[in-house]
Amino acid sequence: MKFYQKELSKFESELIQLKERLKVIDLIIGKNNQKEKLKKEIENTIIEIKEIYNHTEKNEKYKLIRELFSSYFNEVMDEDTYISWSINSNNNIDFKSPVIRTKDKLSKDTAKDEGRTYRKILCVIFDLAILVSYNKESYFRFVYHDDVLSQQDNGIKIRLLKLINNTMSQYDIQYILSVIKSDLPTDENDNPMYFNKQDIMLELNDKNESGTLFGFEF
């Protein structure tokens, strides 16, 4: 009797182990099915991306963004530029840095977009182009840029702020920027051109704790 009980216990133990192995096998099969499904989705997405890439001329939104970007940049920098994207060897999208063109007869591409000050302007212009392009849709209505006027030419500062003000007024966009006094544009007498009081949301200083962002020091 004890012999049969031991055998029965042994078989029950083996059965439990087999059931656990079956669970693992089922899990592996399920993961493989998910993997194949995701692979198929990726393949379909790649096909869609390539279709879009091969027919960008039909994409009105992309066309509008490019036109606004080039127009805004020309208004601020008095130079021509354009944006583009491509598909790399891994079928991923590459967003190339905007290319700036010279205004001579050869219209050569330059490396100006590699400079820090140019990159800041390019980022601001791109964000504005995106916001305006989607202005009639359910999309963001505000943007924040930090230290955008730093190290910029005075004329660029003035033209950029003019563009921002016009864009805000025309498209009801809230634009937020941070700037220190020494980076403000100046007038013909070299005096700082301050913002209107109603346009200033917060003034910070290092005189005391009340001048900090949170009203106290850590």
Domain interval for residue 49: 18-54
Q: Based on the domain organization, do 28 and 110 belong to the same domain?
A: no
Rounded to an integer, what distance in angstroms lies between the CA atom of residue 159 and that of residue 204? 25
pLDDT single digits (tens) 168-186? 999 999 999 999 989 999 9
Q: Based on the domain organization, do 22 and 64 belong to the same domain?
A: no
Q: Which residues pair with 142 in a beta bridge?
A: 174
Q: Residue 167 belongs to a domain with what CATH number?
A: 3.40.50.300
| Structure tokens belonging to residue 65 | 């963004």
Q: What is the pTM of this model?
A: 0.72
Quote helix, strand, coil % in the chain, to nearest 5: 55, 10, 30
Rounded to an integer, what distance in angstroms lies between the CA atom of residue 188 and that of residue 184? 13
Rounded to an integer, what distance in angstroms lies between the CA atom of residue 61 and that of residue 84? 13
pLDDT single digits (tens) 111-154? 454 567 788 899 999 999 999 999 999 999 999 999 899 888 99
Tell me: pLDDT of 110 over 70. no
Give CA angle at 119 (113, 55), nearest 5°: 70
Q: How many domains are there within the chain?
A: 2
CA 65 from centroid of its chain's CA atoms: 14
What is residue 24's three-state secondary structure? helix
Q: Based on the domain organization, do 121 and 155 belong to the same domain?
A: yes
Q: Based on the domain organization, do 69 and 36 belong to the same domain?
A: no
Q: Based on the domain organization, do 139 and 151 belong to the same domain?
A: yes
Q: Based on the domain organization, do 49 and 102 belong to the same domain?
A: no
Q: Based on the domain organization, do 115 and 39 belong to the same domain?
A: no
pLDDT computed for residue 142 by the predictor: 92
More confidently predicted of 205 and 39: 39
Tell me: pLDDT of 107 over 60. no
Residue pair 145/176 in contact (Cβ under 8 Å)? The answer is yes
Least confident of 34-38, 78-82, 142-146, 212-216: 212-216
What is residue 192's three-state secondary structure? strand
Percent of the chain at pLDDT exceeding 70: 90
| Structure tokens belonging to residue 48 | 């869609």
Q: Based on the domain organization, do 93 and 193 belong to the same domain?
A: yes
CA 64 from centroid of its chain's CA atoms: 17
Residue pair 96/40 in contact (Cβ under 8 Å)? The answer is no
Tell me: pLDDT of 205 over 70. yes
pLDDT single digits (tens) 10-67? 777 888 888 888 888 989 999 999 999 999 999 999 999 899 888 888 889 999 999 9
Q: Based on the domain organization, do 104 and 133 belong to the same domain?
A: yes
Residue pair 118/112 in contact (Cβ under 8 Å)? The answer is yes
Q: Based on the domain organization, do 63 and 158 belong to the same domain?
A: yes
Q: Based on the domain organization, do 110 and 195 belong to the same domain?
A: yes
- With bands split at pLDDT 50, 70 and 90, how would you rate the model's confidence at 200? confident
